[in-house]
Amino acid sequence: MNPELQIEFPIGDVPLPLYFNVAQRAAEKLKWKRYSVSGNTLIYHTRGINNILGEIITITMSEGIATFHSIAANEYYYHEHQNQLNADRFRHTVVEMLSKIEAAQRIQSPLVREKYGALMPSPTYMVTPILIYLNVLVFLLMCAGGVSPIQPSVDALFAWGGVNRQAVVAGQSWRMITYMFLHAGFLHILFNMFALVYIGQLLEPLQGKFRFAVSYILSGVCAGLLSMLMHPYSVGVGASGAIFGMYGVFLAMLTTNFISRTARNTMMRSILFFVVFNLFMGMQGNVDNAAHIGGLVSGIIIGYVYFPGIRRKEKMQSQIIVSTILLLAIGILSWFTIGYLQKLGLRSFLF
């Protein structure tokens, strides 16, 4: 063991009183014996082998920085790399506790926005910005390839991967994914990305990155299935079927007591207004409400399937198992639907 170790930990914009409280809880969790508390300084003793006094650890906090200092309590104590190990354990425990506090605050108030901005990925908000980047990138590639940014033709949308009953029945099932990243003009992608940002900032930190990504894709697939069922000859493009799915997932969570009552009531009104307004607007023109409804209903079901694991804060392995079951279920649904469409058997709809 080095006779002495000093490390500085950045604490970012975490309020000093909060970090001070968390540092004490972290030391208690590590079973260090508190020696003194003075101002913004904590002093602890650790125990070595045979319960002898091990290290004297001093943690001093100032704005933006926590200084961890460790020194052997006496010349008889020796344990190689133990002071570095204790520093690493302390930092990991503090980070874990702060993450849990942030998650709890989000549950109580999902109106909290990402501190890095709506378009910047963060540890709890990563999938939404990536989906936005992908949609915008595909739109720019379409424009660079000669597709009109204002009113692209049906042939162009089909060529880029729009969903169409005849094509999917003929074996081009990949269109069930690609259509979600295509848009029929600048205004189409603008409105869809705005809706995605809104729901993503609320839902992704609560649901988790992996569940959010799976919910998005599976809702989009279900939206495409219902669209093909209702519209035999259309070429469908757009992310809003999948986005409606995310609103459905959030609606499912809002019917539980997972979110505080005040926030729940506020968000329920907001989400229901979005859903009803957009379904009504879908009745006015060239918009595919079948896709919206397919995404919404599948999203609600997916939300209820995932909810028990969200409440229990399941680890990734459990999330993968539940997601695999959902994937198999929707895969079977797709197989039966496409088979049915085969037995039954270019106007562009925006969704």
Q: Indicate if 217 and 305 belong to the same structural domain.
A: yes
pLDDT band at 50 (very low <50, low <70, confident <90, very high): low
Which residue from 163, 144, 247 is spatially nearest to 203, judged by alpha carbons? 247
Q: Indicate if 140 and 216 belong to the same structural domain.
A: yes
Report which residue type is found at 113: R
Q: pLDDT > 90: what percent of the chain?
A: 52
pLDDT band at 1 (very low <50, low <70, confident <90, very high): very low
Looking at 108, 136, 157, the residue that finishes a domain is: 108
| Domain membership of residue 195 as a residue range | 127-350
Taking every pair of Cα atoms in the chain, the longest distance, rounded to a whole number of angstroms, is 87
Q: Indicate if 40 and 140 belong to the same structural domain.
A: no
The CATH number of the domain holding residue 19 is 3.30.310.80
Give the pLDDT of residue 63: 80
pLDDT band at 348 (very low <50, low <70, confident <90, very high): very low
Report yes or no on whether pTM surpasses 0.85: no
Q: Is-catalytic flag, 109?
A: no
pLDDT digits (tens, 9 = 90+) for 127-148: 999 999 999 999 999 999 999 9
Q: Cα-atom radius of gyration of the chain, to the nearest Å? A: 26
pLDDT digits (tens, 9 = 90+) for 71-92: 877 655 555 577 788 889 999 9
Domain presence at residue 122: no
Q: Which of 93-102, 158-167, 240-249, 295-304 has the lowest mean pLDDT?
A: 93-102
Q: Indicate if 159 and 241 belong to the same structural domain.
A: yes
**Region for residue 42 given its phi and psi (left: phi exceeds 0; alpha: psi -120 to 50; beta: otherwise):** beta
Looking at 79, 108, 137, the residue that finishes a domain is: 108
Which of the residues 70, 219, 234, 240 is marked catalytic? Answer: 240
Q: Indicate if 133 and 249 belong to the same structural domain.
A: yes
Which of the residues 69, 188, 231, 292 is marked catalytic? Answer: 292
Give the pLDDT of residue 107: 54
Structural domain total, the chain: 2
Identify the burial level of 170 via C-beta atoms within 10 angstroms of its C-beta, where 0-12 means exposed, 13-18 middle and 19 or more buried: exposed
Give the pLDDT of residue 121: 84
CA distance 31 to 34: 9
Q: Indicate if 77 and 202 belong to the same structural domain.
A: no
Q: Is-catalytic flag, 292?
A: yes
Between residues 110 and 264, the one the model is more confident about = 264
